[in-house]
Amino acid sequence: MSVRRRAAALAITAVLCGAAAPVAVAAPSPSPSPSAPGLPAGLYGTKDPTYDGVWRQSLAFLAQKIELVTPAAQSVDWLVGQQCDSGAFPSYRDASEPCDAMTVADTNATAAAVQALVELGVHREVVDNGVAWLKSVQNADGGWGYNPGSPSDANSTGVVTGALARAGVPLAEVTKAGGKTPYTALQTFALPCGGEDGGAFAYQPDKKGVLTANADATAAAVLGAMGKGLAAGNYNAVKAPVCHKGTGLTPEQSAQNGAFHLAKALGGTGHLDLPPMPGAEESAPQPDFGNTADAVVALAASGHKDKAAGAVAYLEKHAQGWAKEGGPAATAQLVLAAHATGADARDFGGVDLVRQLNATGPAPAATAVPSPTATAPSKPADTSSDDEGLGLWWIIGIGLAFGAGIGFLLSGRRKNQQL
């Protein structure tokens, strides 16, 4: 989900309720986060975290992990401390106070946190607690809404499905009455082939049940239908995506339909457009960098990174200012897009995105150089579906970090008891 859409949705909710192998090196000791006054030291970013604190922290970890950066223990502890006893994560809370009836649980934040901790390979008890809560709030149609009890939507269902898959949950077993699974829920948002928006997914049907194509929802649904997480691996391109017609499509076919739509949408300008905000003086659509980056990841994850090449080139040339202003989540989105397509996140249009991301939070416990994406082999590993959870160089990075006295990944810390 793009940073802009996520903030808007949460605001509404608040109102309503290689050539050179990477070498791991010790990083400086964690320093205080550059947070604004009143924000916790472990939090990434300096802007108001009310609507995206957990989300941006989780995306930062995912992006750091795939670039072989070990986050500081302080920042991981902050994320763990956001979880409630129920297993849910809110968008953000004051962890000095326990969760209560006024704490609004957030399925997207919970799913992102689960994915981040799975990829880091730490705090399995937090992951399992989050998974149990997500399964407990699954809607009757097999999907999830933004908050427990709200109608299912493609974005939430996609990110939760990816989290469950990355946590090792057999998705076919996450079934409601009538055989409704996360996959069947996602397919209810799919537009049939044919027409301008064939193959796309809608966020939700409108009051009349009409589906309207939504690029953000399509990217999320493609990942979810494939059982992939937000941090997709670098895949080789396959044949051009095709839109499969008819009923009874498999999840893979539905995902390929979404990829077909995204490839078509990016094929012209190389970017998606953001409609003007109500009342804005500028009426012309503006480039939507966040959703473009998400579309790149979805295309790469579905085997079509060649169809994302133009969008990556566009992001390299135009998105640096957006990412820096947007903070950790926006920068992380570009890192994820770069990794998914084999681009160099440490030299993305002349900008070192990894350094930029690291600077938004506590100094990492360890990092690695050069960028693993800079010299990706012809058949790179899929970091989003590695059953071992941690790659070889990540393990080496952890080992060296431990040798330097920074062994938080192996420390077995207990979860914050103030939940």
Query: Could you give the domains of the chain?
Result: 3-270+287-410 (1.50.10)
Give the position of tokens 């397509």. 341
Which is nearest to 307 in space by CA: 347, 253, 265? 265
pLDDT of residue 182 exceeding 90: yes
User: What was the pLDDT predicted at 38?
Assistant: 79
Measure the CA–CA gap between 171 and 411, rounded to whole angstroms: 31
Could you give the 3-state DSSP secondary structure of residue 210? coil
pLDDT of residue 187 exceeding 90: yes
Claim: this prediction has a pTM higher than 0.75: yes
Could you give the 3-state DSSP secondary structure of residue 274? strand
Token pair of 120 as six digits? 């880091």
Measure the CA–CA gap between 210 and 375, rounded to whole angstroms: 46
User: What was the pLDDT predicted at 375?
Assistant: 43
Provide φ and ψ at 190, rounded to 5°: -85, 135
User: What was the pLDDT predicted at 16?
Assistant: 39
* Strand pairing class (286-288; 366-369): unpaired
Confidence of residue 226 (pLDDT cuts 50, 70, 90): very high
| H or E stretch covering 398 | helix 392-403
User: What was the pLDDT predicted at 327?
Assistant: 97
Mean pLDDT of 295-305: 96
Which amino acid makes up residue 382? D
User: What was the pLDDT predicted at 365?
Assistant: 96
Measure the CA–CA gap between 58 and 5, rounded to whole angstroms: 17
Token pair of 121 as six digits? 């390979």
Could you give the 3-state DSSP secondary structure of residue 248? coil
Q: Enter the DSSP assignment of 270.
A: S
Contacts of 299 (CB under 8 A, 6+ apart): 222, 259, 262, 263, 266, 305, 307, 308
pLDDT of residue 343 exceeding 60: yes
User: What was the pLDDT predicted at 42?
Assistant: 96
Contact between 195 and 153 under an 8 Å Cβ cutoff? The reply is no
Mean pLDDT of 132-137: 98
Contact between 338 and 270 under an 8 Å Cβ cutoff? The reply is no
Bond into 377 cis (ω within 30): no
Mean pLDDT of 281-292: 87
Q: pLDDT for 346-369, tens place per residue?
A: 999 999 999 999 999 999 999 986
Q: Where are the alpha helices (DSSP H) in 283-352?
A: 289-301, 309-318, 320-326, 328-341
